[in-house]
Every structure is written in structure tokens, then in C-alpha cells.
Structure 1
Amino acid sequence: MEYEFRHDPISGQAKALFSLEQQMIGPWLETEVGGNAEMLSALLIAIEKIERKHQHEITVTGSEYSVTLTDQDAFIQPNTNLNGTEDLPEELAVQELHIDSETVSACGLDDFRQILLSWAKFTKN
């Protein structure tokens, strides 16, 4: 999986860029996780619960995106997929991502944990 973290030269905000197959992970990280150490911690704890078989599946619904964790994968989708609305959140439309209302980005659970840890290090959380 290819990705890169950068700081926006104008705003200084952390940006996450992912390959086409996982492109939704970037805006999800920026929007739902950002610099929120509590969210990062909660997601890492959720991964641990899944791995220890305390729970089979965990879904964390954010303001614009949701992530579902299973014993194998992490799935990220815009909440429009969950509530049946047609319009994409403004941030998705502005970023000109090539997605439709049925798009889901997925990656393996181990890769997802590494992304979270790398993001935490990059944003210093």
C-alpha cells in the first residue's frame, strides 16, 4: 500500500495521500482522526479487542466517515453509504476524489494499525 503524509504548505495541516484503491483513508485520517489522540487510542484499542476475539466487528461512525474493523480488514466509507443520501460530504466533493456513493476503501488490519501509528508519529500524538 502506497501512502504519504505531508504538511499543507499554506495551512500547515497534516495531509494524507493514498493510492487510488485506498484513497478514502486519507480524508478519513484528516477529518475523523486529525490530531485527536483520544480517537487514535480508541481505534488502537478497538483493533486489540478484535485481535483478542473480544468482539467480532467494531464500527466507529464519525461525522463524515465510518470505519468498520473485522478480524482481517478495516473498511472506510463515507456516511452517505450508511444513511442512503445521495450527496457526498463537502470535503469529498472539494477534494475531487474519484468515488461514488458505493465506494469503500479497505486494507488489512495490520496495515491499518501501521497507518494509525505512522499518522500518530507524523502528527506527534
Structure 2
Amino acid sequence: MEYEFRRNTLTGTLVANFSMDHEIMGLWFVDELGEDSQLCQQLQNTILLLQQSAISDKRFVGKAISIELDSEQVRVFANVLEMGDEVELDESMSFYNGESEAFCGLEDFAAALDSWQAFIKDSR
């Protein structure tokens, strides 16, 4: 999973670009996490507890995008996916959900979270 963090020099807004199939993670970092150091610390504490097997999983529900963590992987998903409305497609079509849901390893997510925190600190 590749990613790049930057700040728009004209507007000051945050930008997080993630590799294909992980696009929603960029939206989550910008729209849900942003510069919230308290949430970042909660996530880091959760990762530590998962790695120590003190908890088995944890969900953080956001306004539009949520995140689930367990001892092996992280799932970032649009809240609309949890509403249960199934969309039926023609047999010749498939549903691309890379912008609605993504998975990555817990260590990869922890590294991205650390990078985000360092980026926020350095870009102020």
C-alpha cells in the first residue's frame, strides 16, 4: 500500500492519496481523522492493545467513513455499506468498491498512522 500526504499550499487543506484499491483510506485520513491528535492517540493505543492480545477488535464509527481493527487487519469502509441494501448487477458487470471499502494489514496501517501524525506535526 502506497500513500502520499501533503497540504494544499493555497487552501491549507490536507490531502492524502493512497494507491488503487485503498482510496477510501485517504478520505478517512482527511475527513475523519484530520488533525485530531486525540483520535490518533486512541488509534495508536488500540493498535498496541490488539498487538498485545488485550482486545480482539475495535470499531471507530465516523460521520461518513468508519474503521474496524483486529489483530491482523484493518477495514476502512463507507458507512453506507453497512445499511444492507444489496445492488443487483447484470452478470456481465461487477461492482468496484475500492472507493468504498479497503483492507490492509495492522502493521501497514500503524505505519501509515505514524506517518500521518509526523506529517501533521511537520506541516503546521
Question: What TM-score, normalized to structure 1?
Answer: 0.82
Q: Deviations over 1:86-114 (max 9, x none)?
A: 9xxxxxxxxxxx95499421111001011
- CA distance in 1 between counterparts of 2:116 and 2:96 reads 23
Partner residue in 1 for 2:110: 113
Identity %: 29
Return 5+ residue gaps in structure 2 as ranges. Answer: 87-94
- Asked which structure has the greater CA Rg, the reply is 2
- CA distance in 2 between counterparts of 1:110 and 1:8 reads 28
Question: Measured at CA, do residues 121 and 102 of structure 1 come closer, stay the same or move farther in structure 2, by a change above 3 Å?
Answer: closer
In the TM superposition, what is the alpha-carbon distance from 1:41 to its structure 2 partner? Answer: 0.4
Which structure is higher in RCO with an 8 Å CA cutoff and minimum separation 6?
2
- CA distance in 1 between counterparts of 2:7 and 2:99 reads 29
**3-state secondary structure, aligned to 1:62:** coil
Please state if 1:68 is matched with 2:65.
Answer: no
Q: How does 1:1-125 map to 2 (within 5 A)?
A: 1-84=1-84, 100=97, 103-124=100-121
Spell out structure 1 runs of 4+ moving beyond 3 A. 98-103
Task: Report the number of matched residues.
Answer: 114
Question: What TM-score, normalized to structure 2?
Answer: 0.83
Is 2:24–2:98's contact at 8 Å kept on the other side of the alignment?
A: no
Calculate the aligned-residue CA RMSD, in Å: 2.3
